[in-house]
Amino acid sequence: MRLALAIASFVVLIVHGVVFYDQFFHRWEQHQTAYFEQARSLSKNAGERAELEARAPRIEQIIVTSFGDTHVDRCTTCHMAADDPRFAGHAQPLKAHPYSAAMGDVLRNGNWERRHKFSDFGCTVCHDGQGRGLDNFHSHGEDEFWPEPLLGYVTQPNWRKDFEPHLKGKEYMEANCAQCHTGEDFAGTPNVNRGRKLFYAMNCYGCHKIDGMSEGTLGPDLTEVGKKFKIDYLWESIVEPRANLATSFMPKFNLSDADIRALVIFLKSRRGVNFAETTLDRYKAHIANVAVVIPPGTAGEKAGEQLIADRACTACHKLRDRDGGVAPDLSYEGLIRDDAWLMDHFKSPRARIPDSIMPTFRFPEEDFTRMSAYLETLKTPPAPASPAAAYHELCERCHGEKGDGNGKVAWYIDPSPRDFTKAAFMNSKPRERFVASIQSGVPGTSMPPWGHALKDDQVNAVLDYVLQTFTKEPRRELKPHKAPQQNPVASDAPSIARGESIFLERCTGCHGRKADGKGPNSLDILPHPRNLRNSWFVDKVSDNRLFDSILYGVQGTAMPPWIDYGLSQENVGDIVNFIRSLNPKSTRSQYARN
């Protein structure tokens, strides 16, 4: 007992010793002592030496009240020589802060005079970091919890390693310069200015709101984004939009590192109220109407053209040389879609393409009419010289350069564009079906009727090109299938009920309990199972094709031949009746998807 007591007491004693040592012998005292010594040896007169002799280490601090909340900056406790030009060549922490004419410093009689005096500005107003700390780790913001690490100098340990090299550099401090220097072409903040231009040029403003700059509602509001997030998060959100939100449909923009850096710096400078404006200015910016102003008397199409440009439709769609890379090409819209289709689709995109991701915009009806009017003027058919050129111009965006259904916008389109390289599928369907799909489009999907843009021989030429270039395998003679032209089973309530019970038993794994193609297995299957509540599509498909697909399967997809699993013609007839009953023509409306 006594021995244990003695040991425990000894531990207490040792810990006290360590704590006292830790609390009374600081690194910053060593830095200050070093500064006093070096300053003594550098000083030229005895008075200054005596003054230095008398100084003892102490905590130095600058209290800044002019810029936002009160800052307490104790940085000069270590960085003693920040304002001592004799230390220009020393190593940190005893290095003089550089002077620069670009920052407004003035050289008078051989002595520099600062424009931004440390006594007025402190340090963290420009540099960020944690002014109150007295050790490297905490004051430089290396602690992953600190929201403002030294801008451009410090990267925190939990930041992604591949971004780290991009996140260093003095230019990041421009985000703080812009808190006071808000001029759009202020020479000291080239990156902020470039980022602002990119924000418009890359159509960011179409989806994102920044008070006083834009009104987008699809993406997160970026008005205070610089206050909320660190630069690694901003970088990641631009480079990999889905890194933080798996369902984000923000496209990956093909930006150079310099452009991304400029955007990050611009976004970092967005902090809501900045130092240069009053709260009243901010409120005015907040309520400012940045909506499109159409000069009165503008013709419908002209106004529509302006609306389409200003509403940033090209943030997703392609129109002439502008291309958002998410949604279909609008260049031939006047040829492939009529006014009724366009208006339906504007009011509710899913009324025409049930699985579209396009948001329903709440613009005034008048705007939709004008935009439709403009799109209807786009009637100039392409003048492709060869089938390859036609494919490149019209098909490649969805079906891909290699014809594998993996075009630039394919990820955003449901049902997925057809993969022409799957010979099993391509060779199991009659040529007439492909011709019909190209000429009249596939209703309820993004495949438009190209027959209005291409002549019949051109359609056939493109089809030949596709079959020869991508499918490659020569067509074989199709084996005749015993599928009836018309459903022999009459559609009545008992038949539909039988069809439903077979459907629930056999089909829901892929097609889903709602028959919407979203069953539990659907995620792993490409092409995804068909949405059988897509009325536009189901109504177009003949009984013969449904029978054929169910009984003999769809080659090149996950749909098996159910005839092998014991389904009779009568069974399939019941299923077809059930599927048709899900898509009654009379109730087809913009809500048909439900």
Residue ranges that bind other proteins, judged by CB under 8 A = 1-2, 4-5, 8-9, 11-12, 15-16, 18-19, 22-24, 59, 69, 72, 74, 130, 132-135, 138-139, 145-147, 228
| CB-CB contact of 307 with 367 (8 Å) | yes
Residues 569, 572, 578, 581, Cα dihedral to 10°: -70
Q: What region does 297 belong to: left with phi over 0, alpha with psi -120 to 50, or beta?
A: left
Residue nearer to other proteins on the CB measure, 222 or 575: 222
In the complex, least distance from residue 289 CB atom to other proteins, rounded to whole angstroms: 25
In the complex, least distance from residue 208 CB atom to other proteins, rounded to whole angstroms: 16
In the complex, least distance from residue 11 CB atom to other proteins, rounded to whole angstroms: 4
Torsional sign, CA 212, 213, 215, 220: negative
**Which contacts qualify for 102-105: CB closer than 8 Å, 24 or more apart?**
102/188, 103/188
Say if residue 93 is preceded by a cis peptide, omega within 30 of 0: yes
Residue nearer to other proteins on the CB measure, 286 or 513: 286
Q: Which residues contact 457 (CB under 8 A, 6 or more apart)?
A: none
Say if residue 415 is preceded by a cis peptide, omega within 30 of 0: yes
Residue nearer to other proteins on the CB measure, 8 or 107: 8
Residue nearer to other proteins on the CB measure, 12 or 107: 12
Say if residue 527 is preceded by a cis peptide, omega within 30 of 0: yes
Residue nearer to other proteins on the CB measure, 132 or 593: 132
In the complex, least distance from residue 245 CB atom to other proteins, rounded to whole angstroms: 12
- 24-45 burial code (b ≥16 CB/10 A, e <16): eebebbebbeebbebbeeeeee
In the complex, least distance from residue 340 CB atom to other proteins, rounded to whole angstroms: 43
In the complex, least distance from residue 145 CB atom to other proteins, rounded to whole angstroms: 4
Residue nearer to other proteins on the CB measure, 129 or 334: 129
d(CA 65, CA 71): 7
In the complex, least distance from residue 69 CB atom to other proteins, rounded to whole angstroms: 7
In the complex, least distance from residue 143 CB atom to other proteins, rounded to whole angstroms: 8
Residue nearer to other proteins on the CB measure, 29 or 84: 29
Residue nearer to other proteins on the CB measure, 49 or 138: 138
d(CA 450, CA 464): 16
Residue type present at position 244: N
Listed residue (575, 586, 584, 522) closest to 549, CA to CA: 575
